[in-house]
Amino acid sequence: GEDVEQSLFLSVREGDSSVINCTYTDSSSTYLYWYKQEPGAGLQLLTYIFSNMDMKQDQRLTVLLNKKDKHLSLRIADTQTGDSAIYFCAEPRSSASKIIFGSGTRLSIRP
């Protein structure tokens, strides 16, 4: 995951917004993913955004994409205890037929 970078930890207060940031390297990616991993479980596809979009909103989730800076962010509004998880940014590499994952950001919620 060295080509996709994320900060490792984020702590927010319950009810606040969480913003998880990611930088990627392959400008030819047609879309980018956010995966969620709850404790002891596999990865769940949370959302994705096509590279020709700047923003995608889905209920409490907002994804922002800045192609110029190769920066992707995930905003979770009204963060709840159930949002505690590791969030992975991921970039498909079609040339290699595989997905490159970031290191994951562990989101913790404090009361």
Residues 14-73 that bind other proteins (CB under 8 A): 31, 35, 40-45, 48
Position among 55, 94, 108, 110 found at the interface with other proteins (CB under 8 A) = 94
95: helix, strand or coil:
helix
**63, β-bridge pairs:** 56, 74
Cβ of residue 77: shortest distance to other proteins, in angstroms? 24
Residue count of the chain, please give it.
111
78: helix, strand or coil:
coil
Q: Which is nearer to other proteins, 53 or 92 (CB)?
A: 92
Position among 20, 104, 107, 109 found at the interface with other proteins (CB under 8 A) = 104
Angle at 56 between CA 68 and CA 6, to 5 degrees: 55
Q: Which is nearer to other proteins, 21 or 31 (CB)?
A: 31
Q: Which is nearer to other proteins, 15 or 51 (CB)?
A: 51
Tell me the C-alpha distance between 40 and 66, whole Å. 32
